[in-house]
Amino acid sequence: MNFGVIPRHLHNRSAHLRPQGGGNMIRSELIQKIADENPHLYQRDVEKIVNTIFEEIIDALADGDRVELRGFGAFSVKQRDARVGRNPRTGEAVQVDEKHVPFFKAGKLLRDRLNDRA
């Protein structure tokens, strides 16, 4: 992903992590972006912080807890019941086991920024 150079006076926090031309941001790009904007921090420390945050969210979800980041959204776990599915190639019936899946519900601030209402 490429981040365009945007003069400080023209960019706002809502565009802060928005890649130009679309695309996905990967963890290393997030770490680099945070390190670039916080030159007083070592990149290895930023990496530890980001990884710790992600690990804490994962651990909480694994314990069945909900994680809410105000303004951003909430992570939770939903249970999907066992069911009979279909193999898309053959059409054959296949038993799909019960499973737990992560679920994210965007917060109001995030939804508003995505819809240019901020």
Same domain, 110 and 53: no
Query: Mind listing the pLDDT tens digit for each residue in 57-116?
Result: 999 999 999 999 999 999 999 999 999 999 999 999 999 999 999 999 999 999 999 998
Same domain, 86 and 111: yes
Question: Looking at residue 69, what is its pLDDT?
Answer: 96
Same domain, 40 and 3: yes
| Owning domain of residue 107 | 66-118
Task: Bin 28: left if φ > 0, else alpha if -120 < ψ < 50, else beta.
Answer: alpha
Split into its structural domains, the chain has a count of 2
Same domain, 53 and 71: no
Same domain, 23 and 48: yes
User: Tell me, what CATH number does 110's domain have?
Assistant: 4.10.520.10
DSSP alpha helix (H) spans, 21-118: 27-37, 43-62, 108-114
Same domain, 58 and 9: yes
Tokens 């038993």 identify what position?
Answer: 95
DSSP lists the bridge partners of residue 17 as none
In which band, very low, low, confident or very high, does the pLDDT at 27 lie, cut at 50, 70 and 90? very high
Q: Which of 64, 84, 87 is nearest to 76 (CA)?
A: 64
Same domain, 4 and 44: yes
Instruction: Locate 71 and state its tokens.
Output: 């303004």
Can you tell me the distance from the alpha carbon of 12 to that of 75, in angstroms, rounded to the nearest whole number? 26
Instruction: Locate 99 and state its tokens.
Output: 């499973």
Same domain, 59 and 87: no
Can you tell me the distance from the alpha carbon of 110 to that of 92, in angstroms, rounded to the nearest whole number? 41
Question: Looking at residue 117, what is its pLDDT?
Answer: 77
